[in-house]
């Protein structure tokens, strides 16, 4: 997909490892295992501004949007922000649309805030809507 080398999970800082493990559980999907990485007060803002408070919300949304979807996690960046430790996960989505058409190379960026070993906030962006529009011949 690109020349960006994947970050080995074992070499990640602790907060990035929490995010990585959460994303791994989310891709199974295993929302109950994913929930072990989030705070009880987590806010997950998904594409289109959809807000969830448990990993089961995005899992249900993705089940309707894709036949299946996985993340090719390429990079994790960790910084201190006003909200706490901020972790960005970037890479590509791949999978199948509901009609069985495969896709890959769909960019994503997830922004997390981690406090005391738990994810308290997640924001999700990806190119899926753009790809759906393009497939329907709608381009600017």
3 inside domain: no
Q: What is the pLDDT of residues 31-88, one digit of tens each?
A: 999 999 999 999 999 988 999 999 999 999 999 989 999 999 999 999 998 889 999 9
Has residue 92 been placed in a domain?
yes
CATH of the domain at 48: 3.10.450.50
Other CB atoms within 10 A of residue 116 CB? 8
Domain containing 74: what range?
Answer: 9-135
126 is a domain residue: yes
List C-alpha distances in Å: 22 to 30, 34, 39, 73, 118.
Answer: 10, 5, 12, 12, 10
Residue pair 37/18 in contact (Cβ under 8 Å)? The answer is yes
Query: What's the CA gap between 100 and 84, in Å, rounded?
Result: 40
Whole-prediction pTM: 0.88
| Number of domains forming the structure of the chain | 1
Does 2 fall in a domain?
Answer: no
Is 1 within a domain?
A: no
């Amino acid at each position: 997909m690109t020349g960006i080398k994947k970050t080995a999970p074992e070499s990640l800082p602790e907060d990035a490892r929490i995010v990585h493990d959460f994303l791994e559980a989310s891709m199974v999907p295993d929302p109950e295992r994913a929930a072990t990485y989030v705070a009880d007060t987590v806010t997950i803002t998904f594409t289109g501004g959809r807000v969830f408070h448990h990993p089961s919300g995005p899992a249900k949304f993705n089940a309707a949007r894709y036949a299946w979807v996985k993340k090719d996690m390429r990079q994790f960046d960790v910084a201190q922000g006003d909200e706490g430790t901020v972790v960005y996960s970037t890479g590509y989505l791949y999978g199948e649309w509901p009609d069985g058409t495969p896709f890959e190379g769909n960019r994503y960026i997830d922004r997390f805030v981690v406090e005391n070993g738990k994810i308290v906030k997640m924001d999700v962006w990806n190119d899926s809507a753009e790809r759906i529009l393009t497939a329907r011949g709608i381009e600017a």
